[in-house]
Structure 1
Amino acid sequence: MRRTFHLSGMARIILVVVIALASALGFFALTRDKHPGPRQKSEAPQRQSPSDLESMLVKSLLEVRQNRLDLAMNDIEALLKIYPNFKLAHLIRGDLLMARAYPLSSIGSAAGASQHQISDLREEARARLLRHLEQMPVNQVPKYLVQFQPEQHYAVVVDTGKSRLYLYQNDNGTPRYIADYYVSSGKAGSEKIKEGDQKTPLGVYFVTSHLPKTQISDFYGTSAFPISYPNEWDRQQGKNGHGIWLHGVPSDTYSRPPRASSGCVVLANPDLDKLGKDLQIGLTPVVISDHIEWADAKELAAQRDELGKLVENWRHDWESIDSDKYLRHYSKNFKAPGQNYSSWDTQKRQVNMGKTWVKIKLSGVSIFSYPGNENLMVITFDQDYSSNNLKNQMKKRQYWKLENNEWKIIYEGTA
């Protein structure tokens, strides 16, 4: 006997969301086994993304759009067998069940949930649908990934505006797309300024440590990866706060709404477990933007060459023991820990007076452009310094800023 469904409130709302997104992007084409990720070279690692969960969810929502409600119910129930704590799927299942009896006035009518909860789940559905309906740029990567250091195997780029985290591999210096995941971010949005503002920071950060499940509460999921907020640039801008992590979700849920954290970037536990295998403590960059900008290989190569030459000229001028040549690379707004440009100038001139020769070797250079500020670069390297009266080695980080069409160092310190 064929079940009778009443396609009204819930289905119409989903239909409106799907049509609006698809119309804006110019197409409806989507299948469970096809996703619009960038093409992979044959030798590139193959990973399926977006997740099977999202493919199943979107398939069921598109079946609602097509009025194939029995199939939609079958897919939702299959999804829940795999992910029994996926709240959005439970909400849709409840509405589909109620639609057998009478029309629904709105999505979530069967759940008895609050309007705030329903709104959160609608936003999650929208974010997940958008990923499937929108193609990522072909043959382009996030513009921030100018140069990996050889030991950096992966980079993470977060788009808070689209609730998405992207993983790229260092393929002999070229960023290669590997996977992407749905994420939650700050309740109050992005661009964190101060402690407790419930915003996610925007900038270039690095994974600093790993906290296994045994060291954190259930609220943070299966593990957590703290990142280096506030970074050197944040502190110069007067930003503060702490405890920004990549972490999972409580065991009683599969995911959280797009805007649900106190500033952290939150992934489903299965996604975090996959991602965590590729994160390197002290090495993996985490670039957080509210809107990813993309660049092709030619653009990145040009920027890499330009910045590489600047760093080499700086190194050469330091070796020359010519203080004027060396200091011309620094902005008058330069800051270092405990120093400004004036004190830096004085110190370096005094030091050079005692030098008869200087040799500097740089290795492991990485270059990342700063999200939201195309005129700011973060450059990190290993420095091997030797002179007639001193030898040392350190990992150094510089921030280069474009001032009056000239790149200048605006910050320098130990990384």
Structure 2
Amino acid sequence: MTGVARMWRYRAGCCRLPHMPLATRQDPAMYRLWLFVVLIFVGVLPAAANERVPAYVIRVPAAIKTVFVAETLAAKFHQFDNESGSPIEYRGSTYMSIGKSGDGKRRNGDRRTPLGIYFVTEQLDTSRLHEKYGITAFVLDYPNVLDRRRQYTGDGIWVHGVDRRGGKRPPRDTDGCIALPNESLAMLEDRFAANRTPVIVTRRLEWVDRDTLDTIGRELETAVAEWAESQRQGDLHTFLSLYHDDFRHWGMNTQEWLAFQAETLNSRRLIEVTVSDLLLLADPVEAGTYLSRFTLRTVEDGRTTELTRRLYWRRAAGG
């Protein structure tokens, strides 16, 4: 009980979320919003893994049907499907080939495959491209926000097929893309959706108990809900307290961004702020860093706006 009281001391008197039993509450202040982006727009698992869940997939909304996890050290491309009303389920794995220099891409031309959370942006017609791209290709959004923050360079990272005449490629044989056998890619093709399907690239696929992810998921859901509610209420103190000291956006540092947001909140009269289609993923590179991606609907002065937003969260020190 002492730990719970200490955890909620800073939040006392300012949380407007629906009442929950004290034992189930998690402090949204344990997370600080780090980065912020507005977007317009088959195999057999080990027995132990069958009873556990991938460590990176915390919450998946019904709108997202599949999450892919590329495991570079095992040269496997895993498929996890999200069927309505059930936890995400392992469907199988296929062989993959990655960059000639391995993983951990940092600069243009290093022939490495990036590690992180990426989303498919579009499907390419490869009929007029080099034969090495195979039957089709899906573009990933490398470099993402975290990559750019780390000053990683390069682009053109795809999930694509292989030369129809060449057969299977070695585990390290691309310029940084992920290459799948054509027959496997053909089976997976309808599971890729532009601006929706995540592809998580990690060295090893880690497994955890579902209870562990459920706890993290509740904490993050509460933090996202408070972020949204503080805007509707015009609660500047709560809203600004969620931003991390390392926050950057639009070239502004933390203080510049907070001043901008303070002016924005004071000038708006929001009638409704709702969050839907919430996706929660754990970053495979930096432990304790999480991505939330959702649709934010706002209503003000008779005008309704819907945007897809990404919030990157990091657990606060001591939280």
TM-score class normalised by the smaller sequence: 0.7 to 0.9
2:101 matched to 1:179?
A: no
2:124 matched to 1:219?
A: no
Would the aligned equivalents of 1:206 and 1:282 in 2 still touch at CA under 8 Å?
A: yes
Deviation at 1:189, TM superposition (A): 1.2
Would the aligned equivalents of 1:207 and 1:226 in 2 still touch at CA under 8 Å?
A: yes
Deviations 1:211-242 (A, max 9, x none): 12324221111111111111111111111110
**Gap runs ≥5 in structure 2:** 1-41
Deviations 1:270-315 (A, max 9, x none): 1111111211111110000011111222222222111111111111
Counterpart selection for 1:293 from 206, 210, 213: 206
Would the aligned equivalents of 1:219 and 1:250 in 2 still touch at CA under 8 Å?
A: yes
1:135 and 1:382 map into 2 onto residues whose CA distance is 37
1:293 and 1:242 map into 2 onto residues whose CA distance is 27
Higher strand share: 2
Correspondences of 1:105-254 after superposition (within 5 Å):
137-172=49-84, 174-254=87-167
Higher helix share: 1
Higher relative contact order at CA 8 Å, sep ≥6: structure 1 or structure 2?
A: 2
Deviation at 1:389, TM superposition (A): 8.2
Question: Counterpart amino acid of 2:59?
Answer: Q
Match of 2:175 in 1: 262
Deviation at 1:351, TM superposition (A): 1.9
1:136 and 1:157 map into 2 onto residues whose CA distance is 18
Per the normalisation by structure 1, the TM-score is: 0.64
Deviation at 1:181, TM superposition (A): 0.3
2:135 and 2:268 map into 1 onto residues whose CA distance is 54
Report percent identity of matched pairs. 27
The 3 A distance-change label for structure 1 pair 296 and 215 is farther
Would the aligned equivalents of 2:70 and 2:199 in 1 still touch at CA under 8 Å?
A: yes
Would the aligned equivalents of 2:270 and 2:298 in 1 still touch at CA under 8 Å?
A: no
Question: Counterpart amino acid of 1:163?
Answer: A
Secondary structure at 2:184's aligned position in 1? helix
1:342 and 1:358 map into 2 onto residues whose CA distance is 27
2:219 matched to 1:306?
A: yes
Secondary structure at 1:229's aligned position in 2? coil
Deviation at 1:356, TM superposition (A): 4.4
Deviations 1:63-103 (A, max 9, x none): xxxxxxxxxxxxxxxxxxxxxxxxxxxxxxxxxxxxxxxxx
Question: Counterpart amino acid of 2:307?
Answer: M
Correspondences of 1:338-349 after superposition (within 5 Å):
338-349=251-262
The 3 A distance-change label for structure 1 pair 287 and 164 is same
Paired positions, count: 277
Would the aligned equivalents of 1:334 and 1:341 in 2 still touch at CA under 8 Å?
A: yes
The 3 A distance-change label for structure 1 pair 358 and 327 is farther
Per the normalisation by structure 2, the TM-score is: 0.82
Counterpart selection for 2:264 from 327, 351, 376: 351
1:357 and 1:186 map into 2 onto residues whose CA distance is 48
1:332 and 1:138 map into 2 onto residues whose CA distance is 40
Deviations 1:142-172 (A, max 9, x none): 1111111221000100100110010000023
Question: Counterpart amino acid of 1:302?
Answer: T
Secondary structure at 1:177's aligned position in 2? strand
